[in-house]
């Protein structure tokens, strides 16, 4: 949240205050934490926004910070999900706010996500906006590829893009992969040409 906030001129929230708010939200909603055997979880969403009564293109003088929690199942289940590669829509400008988790990065994707669902796809995959030849990320999550070589060794591949949201989930997956002794590659990732319409 700190990266995204600083990207749009929101002052950094002190870590002790952030953690206290998260702990309070979880403890006050402990009754809604799903049982472990269900594979469900308590989703935690911290949010900060400018709430000053003002017009004009200036940073707000007042901000509101809140923490939402909601019980949730596995977002796409534990099965493969077909993805529609969006070749004619740009999720984020090359030098824009793509790496920040801000509202403006999500709303424009809704129309395309609905179109993908109607065509039988569970998710959309975004390409880089500059060349439309490299994988950036999915509409709801980061892209992480896993390769297994002939010797049974695993390599985790993460796109190297300034337009990808800085993700604690992706970072956690990379750290877990390292703990397994897997190799990590952060590099441009090209989708197979056979998957592209153009």
Whole-number pLDDT of residue 198: 61
Residue scoring higher pLDDT (107 or 116): 116
**Residue percentage of the chain with pLDDT more than 70:** 99
The token pair that represents 196 in the structure block: 């592209």
Render pLDDT for 68-97 as a digit per residue (tens, 0 to 9).
Answer: 999 998 777 778 899 999 998 888 888 888
- Classify the C-alpha dihedral 30-172-101-87 as positive or negative: negative
Residue 16 has pLDDT above 90, yes or no: yes
pLDDT at position 43 is 93
Count of other CB atoms within 10 angstroms of residue 142: 19
- A 10 A CB-CB count for 170 gives 19
Give pLDDT tens digits for 19-53.
999 999 999 999 999 998 888 999 999 999 999 99
With contact defined as beta carbons under 8 Å apart, do 82 and 121 qualify? yes
Ordered by where they begin, the domains of the chain are 2-72 (3.30.470.10), 83-191 (3.20.10.10)
| More confident: 170 or 7 | 170
Taking alpha carbons only, the member of 123, 128, 159 closest to residue 138 is: 123
Question: How much is the CA Rg of the chain, to the nearest whole Å?
Answer: 19
Q: Tell me, yes or no, if 101 is annotated catalytic.
A: yes
Coil, strand, or helix at residue 159?
Answer: strand
Q: Which of 101, 153, 162, 166 is catalytic?
A: 101
In the predicted model, what is the mean pLDDT of residues 52-65?
92
Asked if 184 and 159 touch (Cβ cutoff 8 Å), the reply is no
Which positions ≥6 away from 197 have C-beta within 8 Å? 85, 87
Of the chain, the percentage scoring pLDDT greater than 90 comes to 64
Of all helices (H) and strands (E), which one includes residue 56? none
pTM confidence score: 0.83
What's the pLDDT score for residue 50?
92
Tell me what the pLDDT averaged over the chain comes to: 91
The yes-or-no verdict on residue 138 having pLDDT over 90 is: yes
pLDDT of residue 151: 96
Q: What was the pLDDT predicted at 86?
A: 93
In angstroms, the CA 25 to CA 32 distance is 11
């Amino acid at each position: 949240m700190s990266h995204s906030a600083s990207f749009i001129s929101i002052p950094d929230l002190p870590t002790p205050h952030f953690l206290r708010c998260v702990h309070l939200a979880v403890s006050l909603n402990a009754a809604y934490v799903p049982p472990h055997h269900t594979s469900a979880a308590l989703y935690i969403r911290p949010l900060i926004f400018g709430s000053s009564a003002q017009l004009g293109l200036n940073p707000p003088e007042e901000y509101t910070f809140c923490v939402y929690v909601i019980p949730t199942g596995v977002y796409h289940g534990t099965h493969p999900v077909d993805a529609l590669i969006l070749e004619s829509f740009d999720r984020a400008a090359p030098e824009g706010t793509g790496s920040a988790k801000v509202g403006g990065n999500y709303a424009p994707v809704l129309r395309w996500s609905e179109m993908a669902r109607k065509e039988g796809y569970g998710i959309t995959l975004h390409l880089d906006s500059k060349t439309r030849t490299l994988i950036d990320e999915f509409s709801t999550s980061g892209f992480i590829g896993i390769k297994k070589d002939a010797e049974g060794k695993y390599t985790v591949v993460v796109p190297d893009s300034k337009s990808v949201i800085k993700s604690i989930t992706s970072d956690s997956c990379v750290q877990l992969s390292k703990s397994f002794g897997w190799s990590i590659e952060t590099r441009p990732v090209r989708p197979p040409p056979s998957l592209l319409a153009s």
